[in-house]
A and B are shown apart, each in its own frame.
Chain A
């Protein structure tokens, strides 16, 4: 997300409390998609499952649709939407909770959203998200018309592009507080060193 000009690092650190526990999502399936209950987990964890399900259900159908309920940081599905669009489909998703107000549309093959409404606050409570996947461009256009989505890109696109270039050229600036959170995250996978473990690194 950082290379897309979005503050991925900031989002990751703010989402950290919802990333440490991964409750298994539950599914109620229907013919076009289903309802996936994230049970309070971040959309960074459950969003890809929901998007992939919508994508799988869109095969040969008008659309694939999934509701991701009870998730946190719904806007964190954006990176995976862009990834999914590279498979050759259009995606639209919208937060159903008033407070978070996130919605995005990504066209087939595009790496930049066609439309993006970004929440002003990203640390709010559980939210519900509706995800649509279309193979058919006409169906996407009719939804666009129905929802009155503009044809032009989000006004922050130029800002995002500039940020992306900056991130590539100068690398990431990591604040001390973010660094502390990242170190905390690292501890989840690091094993305390012992004399025995040093032998496991080749020490004679």
Chain B
């Protein structure tokens, strides 16, 4: 019987908000799958002018079918380049489609894809996305290659990408194929966010292709290609804001499943992971690499910079303390790390432990989907429902909602592109249209009403309670549904003044496989995807899965 950590430890947002990517992050799973199944990715159309503007198309051949990634590369005035969702022009826009794309379809896509949210695609498209250049890095890269030189590594490490995505849409938005259809008809993308991750992987490919293309056009006689080692070190950037937060709260069963899988993987390593001398040596090598990776991150965010340095230094201290000693069991080592290090270091150490046992951990990758089913149980007695709240949401009942900060912020959708925003109750308009993002207060309110109602009707059922208080229907359904999950809801009051939305973003992004978090405020974060991952050309040549915590390649 696996011994899993309890929800009060695992679902704490302070802990979820410091997670790093791990072996079962979606990018890692996708890359392993592409390597194992030898996916073929070919640039089949390249109609770009000397500045790199025009159309390109990648054809992807996978066991389950053929897909086309159609890219429109645009000229963009520097003043219009923005990470914000409300931007309406980008350096490139793209879509991932099922099958091949003929000229008629290409023309339709050309009319719509560059418009993004204002356009409309059909259900043959799986993903709609866009990206902007990292102006400094792109020009630097092009100039260097055009001069026949390789770029300076440390300079590349500062940013680590040439393009940055600002939105990656899927699951039925703007006419795209919905998830149930993708899961059924495109078996290559039957794990969470696989198609979206592939789109990001292909933007990375295109960004590198584009830099070499423009460099060659600029100086045909002298330009060189980028050294493949540096190419692999280049990832794709991403900017993520509050738009991602509602997903976490609207799909609690799925999030609970992702977290449960991570905990099962860790518990399996504790139980079955035999610690040989080789494992021990490899573990501390990975630890050194992770410390170097953290030390290479540059950010203006002082708090994060301090946290990165502290985690790196704790990893170095652990190496100095344990590497030369006789191996301990992983569970024992975890307990010792937990006693002396930060939560971030402990969770990172857990990731490294899981890294050592692909045969134990990888099979859990197929469990990351959840058949989400939120249904009401009208026959449950109200006393039983109260008991459920006491047991599963004791953390809510511990919140003192009389404190002035507890309900001082609210989440809402702006009329500007339906963008989620965070407002202050006393300053911003729109409280009456608040999104039901936070479960804490509604659960408290429901619990109090249940107590009142039970005074007169102690034997009543949920159906009767909801006839009296129909506005409680959604939260009752949530409580009843989440009571069946192992880990339940993320434990945080999201209407508290002190809430840090970037913690929610980092939690989800770590499951995606994103690294190098760089919060630009408490509301949005820049980060890097696929840094260190194999390139498309490596996929058929036995590429390595060992690319976590990438560091600048040695010259």
Which residues of A come within 8 Å of B, CB atoms?
22, 24-25, 27, 29, 36, 48-49, 52-53, 55-57, 59, 83, 86-87, 168-171, 186-194, 196-198, 200-204
> In the complex the two chains form, is A53's CB within 8 Å of B84's CB?
no
Please classify the interface of chain A as helix (H, G, I), strand (E, B), loop, or mixed, using the class held by over half of its residues. Answer: mixed
Nearest B-chain residue to A190, judged by Cβ: B415
Q: Out of A49, A57, A83, A191, which one reaches B466, CB within 8 Å?
A: A49
> In the complex the two chains form, is B84's CB within 8 Å of A201's CB?
yes
Q: Out of B86, B180, B181, B430, which one reaches A191, CB within 8 Å?
A: B430
Q: Out of A86, A87, A201, which one reaches B241, CB within 8 Å?
A: A201
> In the complex the two chains form, is B375's CB within 8 Å of A197's CB?
no
- Contacts A170-B123, A190-B415 known; A197 to B428 CB distance under 8 Å? yes
Considering the chains assembled together, what is the distance between the CA atoms of A190 and B122 in angstroms? 26
Considering the chains assembled together, what is the distance between the CA atoms of A17 and B242 in angstroms? 32
A191 — which chain B residues lie within 8 A by C-beta? 412-415, 421, 423, 428-430, 433
Interface size of B in residues (CB-CB distance below 8 Å): 48
B524 — which chain A residues lie within 8 A by C-beta? 201-202
CB distance from A102 to the nearest CB of B (A): 23
> In the complex the two chains form, is B422's CB within 8 Å of A186's CB?
no
Which of A49, A189, A191 is the most central at the interface, judged by chain B CB atoms within 10 Å of its CB? Answer: A191
CB distance from A7 to the nearest CB of B (A): 18
A55 — which chain B residues lie within 8 A by C-beta? 378-379, 463
Considering the chains assembled together, what is the distance between the CA atoms of A189 and B433 in angstroms? 5
Query: Is B48 among interface residues, defined by CB-CB distance under 8 A?
Result: no
Enumerate 15 A-B pairs (CB-CB under 8 Å) in ascending A order.
A29-B464, A53-B467, A56-B461, A59-B379, A86-B375, A171-B122, A190-B413, A190-B415, A192-B415, A193-B415, A197-B414, A200-B423, A201-B86, A202-B520, A203-B84
Q: Out of B123, B416, B521, which one reaches A169, CB within 8 Å?
A: B123
Query: Is B162 among interface residues, defined by CB-CB distance under 8 A?
Result: no
Considering the chains assembled together, what is the distance between the CA atoms of A196 and B414 in angstroms? 12
Q: Out of B419, B423, B470, which one reaches A24, CB within 8 Å?
A: B470
> In the complex the two chains form, is B413's CB within 8 Å of A201's CB?
no
Q: Out of A56, A169, A188, which one reaches B463, CB within 8 Å?
A: A56
- Contacts A191-B414, A191-B429, A192-B415 known; A52 to B466 CB distance under 8 Å? yes
- Contacts A171-B122, A196-B427 known; A201 to B414 CB distance under 8 Å? yes
> In the complex the two chains form, is B181's CB within 8 Å of A197's CB?
no
Which of A49, A57, A86, A189 is the most central at the interface, judged by chain B CB atoms within 10 Å of its CB? Answer: A189
CB distance from B265 to the nearest CB of A (A): 32
B172 — which chain A residues lie within 8 A by C-beta? 171
Which of B177, B180, B378 is the most central at the interface, judged by chain A CB atoms within 10 Å of its CB? Answer: B378
B463 — which chain A residues lie within 8 A by C-beta? 49, 52-53, 55-57
Please classify the interface of chain B as helix (H, G, I), strand (E, B), loop, or mixed, using the class held by over half of its residues. Answer: loop
A187 — which chain B residues lie within 8 A by C-beta? 415
> In the complex the two chains form, is A87's CB within 8 Å of B375's CB?
yes
Nearest A-chain residue to B417, judged by Cβ: A193
Which residues of B come within 8 Å of A, CB atoms?
84-86, 122-123, 172, 175-178, 180-181, 241-242, 375-376, 378-379, 412-416, 418-424, 427-430, 433, 435, 461-464, 466-467, 470, 473, 520-521, 523-524
CB distance from A66 to the nearest CB of B (A): 10
CB distance from B164 to the nearest CB of A (A): 15
CB distance from B458 to the nearest CB of A (A): 16
> In the complex the two chains form, is A25's CB within 8 Å of B467's CB?
yes
A203 — which chain B residues lie within 8 A by C-beta? 84
Which of A27, A56, A168, A188 is the most central at the interface, judged by chain B CB atoms within 10 Å of its CB? Answer: A56
B178 — which chain A residues lie within 8 A by C-beta? 168, 171
CB distance from A56 to the nearest CB of B (A): 4
> In the complex the two chains form, is B375's CB within 8 Å of A56's CB?
no
- Contacts A190-B415, A191-B430, A200-B428 known; A56 to B379 CB distance under 8 Å? yes
> In the complex the two chains form, is A202's CB within 8 Å of B375's CB?
no
- Contacts A196-B427, A201-B242 known; A190 to B433 CB distance under 8 Å? yes
> In the complex the two chains form, is A168's CB within 8 Å of B181's CB?
yes
> In the complex the two chains form, is B433's CB within 8 Å of A188's CB?
yes
Considering the chains assembled together, what is the distance between the CA atoms of A149 and B181 in angstroms? 35
CB distance from A152 to the nearest CB of B (A): 28
Q: Out of B378, B429, B470, B520, which one reaches A192, CB within 8 Å?
A: B429
> In the complex the two chains form, is B415's CB within 8 Å of A196's CB?
no
Considering the chains assembled together, what is the distance between the CA atoms of A169 and B178 in angstroms? 9
Considering the chains assembled together, what is the distance between the CA atoms of A193 and B428 in angstroms? 10
A22 — which chain B residues lie within 8 A by C-beta? 470
Which of B85, B421, B433 is the most central at the interface, judged by chain A CB atoms within 10 Å of its CB? Answer: B421
Considering the chains assembled together, what is the distance between the CA atoms of A168 and B429 in angstroms? 39
